[in-house]
């Protein structure tokens, strides 16, 4: 079973700071590094490092050819990554002394998906394949619509959350992978247990994976609820931890592994990710 990931590809400009810049403040960074990133590309790299069969569908500009080459070296099928006449998407990321981040993104080439690209990519899908989506490209609603009536498992990570998400045909999603912010925006609830309950009511046919950072993760599907604790680690940079979780979770799921084991492996991988700097570069390979 393969995973077709329609996702963003970004150049991450990462600045180490003592605190996030305040309104009106000019702040010198302690360190500046350029990394490969983008929620979509990070998730494809995590999938590949977890030994999954992944096709990435995405767009870059001429300045992003190195990202495509890097993804190919990871073992990702890149034949559906197009070079377009727009700058590659990028992110400006501040990482503070606690390892937390604050991110601004510019979509660039990530916002140039056309219906014909989507249809072409979906032609590569076979029954039972997984379609993975984040919310960092245009046309997410169209991709969801085009998956209708195809025998595919649709996994949606609504990150970054926007007002438009609620208008997407979310009833077509088989698995939501959300954090507390996204859960609150979708369900109107703040507490994890309440988010889970509200999501099951709103989307009774979908499974929900609610990631809780240091507090672990909750999985819910029908009447099954599984909780897995996080591992205790010293965080240096949390960027890409969610993407690592998703890649490892789906790689295990695509191999038919039972859910609790999928969650445990994904928690382990994302815990290791936060101990290193960068997004894609901090995704571990674990046995």
Nearer to ligand RIB, 75 or 160 (CB): 160
Report d(CA 222, CA 182) in Å as an integer. 20
Considering the candidates 53, 129, 243, 281, report the single residue annotated as catalytic. 243
Q: Residue 37 interacts with ligand RIB (CB under 6 A)?
A: yes
Q: Can 167 be counted among the known catalytic residues? A: no
Nearer to ligand RIB, 200 or 238 (CB): 238
Residue nearest to ligand RIB as judged by C-beta position: 37
Left if phi > 0, otherwise alpha if psi is -120 to 50, otherwise beta: which for 15?
beta
Q: How far is the CB of 64 from ligand RIB (least distance, A)?
A: 12
Length of the chain: 287
Alpha helices (H) in the chain, listed in sequence order: 39-49, 65-73, 115-122, 140-147, 180-187, 192-202, 241-254, 259-273
Out of 5, 42, 187, 200, the residue judged to bind ligand RIB by CB under 6 A: 42
Q: How far is the CB of 169 from ligand RIB (least distance, A)?
A: 24
Nearer to ligand RIB, 102 or 103 (CB): 103
* Residue 219 CB coordination number (10 Å): 22
Q: How many residues bind ligand RIB, per CB under 6 A?
A: 16
Residue 186 tokens, joined: 């979708």
Out of 38, 64, 192, 247, the residue judged to bind ligand RIB by CB under 6 A: 38
Report d(CA 131, CA 117) in Å as an integer. 14
Q: Whose CA is closest to 41, among 12, 16, 13?
A: 12
Per CB under 6 A, the segment of 6-14, 69-77, 80-88, 245-253 that binds ligand RIB is 6-14
Q: How far is the CB of 130 from ligand RIB (least distance, A)?
A: 19
One character per residue 92-111, x = contact with ligand RIB (rule: CB under 6 A): -----------x-x------
Report d(CA 1, CA 16) in Å as an integer. 40
Q: How far is the CB of 4 from ligand RIB (least distance, A)?
A: 19
Q: Which of residues 268-287 bind ligand RIB (CB under 6 A)?
A: 279
One character per residue 219-258, x = contact with ligand RIB (rule: CB under 6 A): --------------------xx-xx---------------
Q: Residue 179 interacts with ligand RIB (CB under 6 A)?
A: no
On whether the CB atoms of residues 228 and 217 are closer than 8 A, the answer is: yes
If you write DSSP's letter for every residue of 165-225 in order, what string do you get? GGGS-GGG-SEEEEEHHHHHHHHS--SHHHHHHHHHHHSTTSEEEEE-GGG-EEEEETTEE
Q: How far is the CB of 136 from ligand RIB (least distance, A)?
A: 6
Out of 53, 74, 77, 136, the residue judged to bind ligand RIB by CB under 6 A: 136
Place of tokens 């990519």: 121
Left if phi > 0, otherwise alpha if psi is -120 to 50, otherwise beta: which for 128?
left
Q: Residue 10 interacts with ligand RIB (CB under 6 A)?
A: yes
Alpha carbon dihedral 20, 37, 280, 83, in 10-degree steps, equals -170
Q: Enumerate binding residues for ligand RIB (CB under 6 A).
A: 8, 10, 12, 37-39, 42, 91, 103, 105, 136, 239-240, 242-243, 279
Task: List, by residue number, the catalytic residues.
Answer: 243
């Amino acid at each position: 079973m393969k995973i077709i990931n329609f996702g963003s590809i970004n150049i991450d400009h990462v600045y180490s700071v003592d605190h996030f810049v305040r309104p009106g403040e000019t702040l010198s960074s302690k360190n500046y590094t350029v990394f490969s990133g983008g929620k979509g590309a990070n998730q494809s790299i995590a999938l590949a490092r977890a030994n999954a069969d992944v096709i990435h569908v995405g767009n870059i500009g001429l300045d992003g050819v190195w990202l495509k080459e890097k993804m190919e070296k990871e073992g990702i099928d890149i034949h559906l990554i197009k070079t377009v006449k727009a700058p590659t998407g990028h992110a400006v990321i501040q990482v503070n002394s606690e390892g937390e981040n604050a991110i601004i993104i510019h979509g660039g080439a990530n916002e140039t998906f056309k219906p014909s690209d989507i249809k072409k990519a979906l032609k590569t899908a076979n029954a039972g394949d997984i379609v993975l989506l984040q919310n960092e490209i245009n046309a997410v609603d169209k991709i969801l619509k085009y998956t209708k009536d195809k025998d595919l498992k649709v996994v949606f990570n609504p990150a970054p959350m926007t007002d438009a998400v609620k208008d997407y045909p979310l009833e077509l999603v088989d698995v939501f992978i959300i954090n507390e912010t996204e859960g609150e925006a979708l369900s109107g609830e703040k507490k994890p247990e309440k988010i889970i309950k509200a999501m099951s009511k709103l989307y009774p046919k979908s499974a929900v994976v609610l990631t809780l950072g240091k507090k672990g993760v909750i999985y819910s599907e029908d009447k099954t609820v599984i909780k897995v604790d996080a591992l205790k680690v010293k965080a240096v940079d949390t960027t890409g931890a969610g993407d690592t979780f998703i890649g490892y979770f789906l790689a295990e799921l695509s191999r038919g592994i039972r859910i609790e084991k999928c969650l445990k492996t994904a928690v382990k991988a994302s815990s290791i990710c936060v101990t290193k700097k960068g997004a894609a570069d901090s995704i571990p390979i674990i046995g």
